Structure 1
Amino acid sequence: MGWLAAGEGYEIALVDGKVAARSTSGRSAGKQLKTLPKALRDHPEVERLRRFADWLDRHAASCVAQVDAWMVSALPVPSAVLGEVWADEAWQAALRDLVVVGAVGEGPDATGFLRDVSEDGELRVVNLDGETVRMSAETVTFPHPVLLPDLAELRDFAVELGVAQKVEQIYRPTWDKPSDPNQRSSATSEFAGGRYPSRFALAARAESLGYRVSGGYAVHRIRSGGRMVEARVWIGEPHREDDSVTGGLSWSSGGRHLPLDKVDAVSWSEGMRMAAALYAGRTGER
């Protein structure tokens, strides 16, 4: 975005997401000012740019949220859609450097770090051999890290490439579901007992992390394996005024409790991630 006239002797523009000004006359003409002049603070053009900056922030956040949902659910995304949105800087930032997987049977180059997408949906990716290759597939997926068999190798390679993902994927904390039923039972209470000064503080922590609070639970909705799963952590009865502690973790689907052996790998990992994040914000020990 270029510089726009605002008031007499000034121009304004968005610089790093904030409204900046520069003088158009005198010895400092053309130089960006450190702060907005008082005469511009309530100027209509400044207010318009501020509102536009707020919209850009919301748009960027919605792009990240959508791509995160694609990853957690492993939904196939049409390559043509990626080609349409790639020109948008917010979409590009959310998608760039994610591990993308092409259709089954496309060969060894069907997995890599996404670097570019053409208008017609052809992807350019860096594969594990360090080669930039083209991927033509009708649909692609951005797998949840718990589903990536080469996760350790991808993490090491990402460090070499200097990968910085806007959507947390390969560095996302993961929990593998134990095979022993007794271990699974103990895992669901691993992060219980995290003490907060109030139920309000615990609920605020959950909401700040992007989780929903419903009744006495912090809830994470996960679309996985073609169904909607809810991971739930007990946070206490609403309107409590005394301290509160995190409770156990459970899963449900379609309003019914899910036995632990029916919880899929992604829902397990995401539920444990929520429970661990809530426990990490505690102010007292068990």
Structure 2
Amino acid sequence: MAWLALDEGYEVSLVEGRVAVRRPAGRQLKTVPKALRDHPEVDRLRRLAEWLDRHEAACAAQVDGWMVSSLPVPTALLARVWRDEAWQAALRDLAVVGDGDPDEVGFLRDATDAGELKVVNLDGETVRLSPRTVTLPHPVLLPDLDDVREFAAELDITQRVEQIHRATWTRPEDVKESATEVRDYAGGKFPSRFSLAARATGLGYRVSGGYATCRVRDGGRAVEAAVWIGEPYWEDESETGALSWHDEEGRAVRLGEVGPVAWSEGMRMAAALYAGRKIEEGGNA
């Protein structure tokens, strides 16, 4: 972004997403001088920086939603948003699969105005694709995930939206299929229900009533994973409860009917909440 002239020869701009000021001689200052903090141009740039932060987060959240739900995304849409740096950062290097060949995985590198996608396939070749739609598959659905991860490491791929290195869980073969709860991550103690709820929202999960929840679309079916975190307004010590899944009507889903993405994302949420528990020290730990 260009530098804008202010009073007494100072100049202001956005540098790496933050307001920066430099002196007439060109030296950039570490902080905005007090005399300029309320300047209209500084305030305008500050509000622009805040909007850009929100926009970047919204783009990443939308792409994460596409990936978690494995929804088909029109190639024309990707081409339209690619010029936006925030969208491009969220999409670049994600593994994509075209609707024409669901077994052909490639890492997205570019989307042209003509509706073509440039991807690096698992043979290391840059190819052009023109599918009508693509999916950004959840890693639990990727065939040969370990090979994909190894190849990504060779290419030094870094993803803004966590996909191929996202922690995954597979439903155990010995799970009781008629059961409706998993307690692997129950019993994690927190100083208060508020601190547990704050951890949930800080991780990006929704808190509703006594539950932390995440919504997943798995195999065309909308499912909500939920972990009990305690009654609202409970002020004493709280702990994580059981993990369960519910359909769109709020009915409990049997474990044998929970799809692979819903299972993985529900366990990921439960594990992330549990990881923030109080750790006892000493002889009784």
Shorter-chain TM-score tier: over 0.9
The 5-angstrom pairing of residues 17-166 of structure 1 reads 17-24=17-24, 29-105=25-101, 110-166=104-160
CA distance in structure 2 between the aligned counterparts of 1:209 and 1:59, rounded to whole angstroms = 18
CA distance in structure 2 between the aligned counterparts of 1:38 and 1:191, rounded to whole angstroms = 50
CA distance in structure 2 between the aligned counterparts of 1:34 and 1:53, rounded to whole angstroms = 17
TM-score by length of 2: 0.94
CA distance in structure 2 between the aligned counterparts of 1:96 and 1:249, rounded to whole angstroms = 33
Give the equivalent residue in structure 1 for 2:260: 265
Number of residue equivalences: 280
1:228 pairs with 2:222 = yes
Pairwise CA distance, 1:185:
5.7
Q: Say which of 234, 253, 276 aligns to 2:247.
A: 253
Confirm or deny: 8 A CA contact 2:177 2:257 kept in the other structure.
no
Confirm or deny: 8 A CA contact 1:146 1:269 kept in the other structure.
yes
Pairwise CA distance, 1:268:
0.4
The 5-angstrom pairing of residues 175-254 of structure 1 reads 175-182=169-176, 188-254=182-248
CA distance in structure 2 between the aligned counterparts of 1:239 and 1:35, rounded to whole angstroms = 41
| Identity percentage of aligned residues | 65
Counterpart of 1:120 in 2: which secondary structure?
Answer: coil
Amino acid at match of 1:6: L
CA distance in structure 1 between the aligned counterparts of 2:277 and 2:175, rounded to whole angstroms = 28
Deviations 1:247-278 (A, max 9, x none): 11000002111111111110000000000000
Give the equivalent residue in structure 2 for 1:279: 274
CA distance in structure 2 between the aligned counterparts of 1:183 and 1:194, rounded to whole angstroms = 25
Counterpart of 1:87 in 2: which secondary structure?
Answer: coil
Distance change >3 Å, CA 238–CA 190, structure 1 → 2 = same
CA distance in structure 2 between the aligned counterparts of 1:184 and 1:59, rounded to whole angstroms = 43
Pairwise CA distance, 1:188:
1.3
Give the equivalent residue in structure 2 for 1:171: 165
For structure 2, which runs of at least 5 residues remain unmatched after alignment? none
Confirm or deny: 8 A CA contact 1:7 1:43 kept in the other structure.
no
120-129 or 80-89, which deviates more: 120-129
Pairwise CA distance, 1:20:
0.6
Deviations 1:85-110 (A, max 9, x none): 0000000000000000011348x7x4
Confirm or deny: 8 A CA contact 1:59 1:90 kept in the other structure.
yes
CA distance in structure 1 between the aligned counterparts of 2:156 and 2:178, rounded to whole angstroms = 36
Pairwise CA distance, 1:226:
1.9
Give the equivalent residue in structure 2 for 1:3: 3
CA distance in structure 1 between the aligned counterparts of 2:13 and 2:32, rounded to whole angstroms = 11
Counterpart of 1:59 in 2: which secondary structure?
Answer: helix
CA distance in structure 2 between the aligned counterparts of 1:152 and 1:184, rounded to whole angstroms = 31
110-119 or 167-176, which deviates more: 110-119
Amino acid at match of 1:62: A
Confirm or deny: 8 A CA contact 1:115 1:125 kept in the other structure.
yes
Confirm or deny: 8 A CA contact 1:177 1:184 kept in the other structure.
no
Confirm or deny: 8 A CA contact 1:231 1:252 kept in the other structure.
yes
For structure 1, which runs of at least 5 residues remain unmatched after alignment? none
Counterpart of 1:114 in 2: which secondary structure?
Answer: strand
256-265 or 85-94, which deviates more: 256-265
Pairwise CA distance, 1:58:
0.2
Pairwise CA distance, 1:227:
2.4
CA distance in structure 2 between the aligned counterparts of 1:52 and 1:205, rounded to whole angstroms = 29
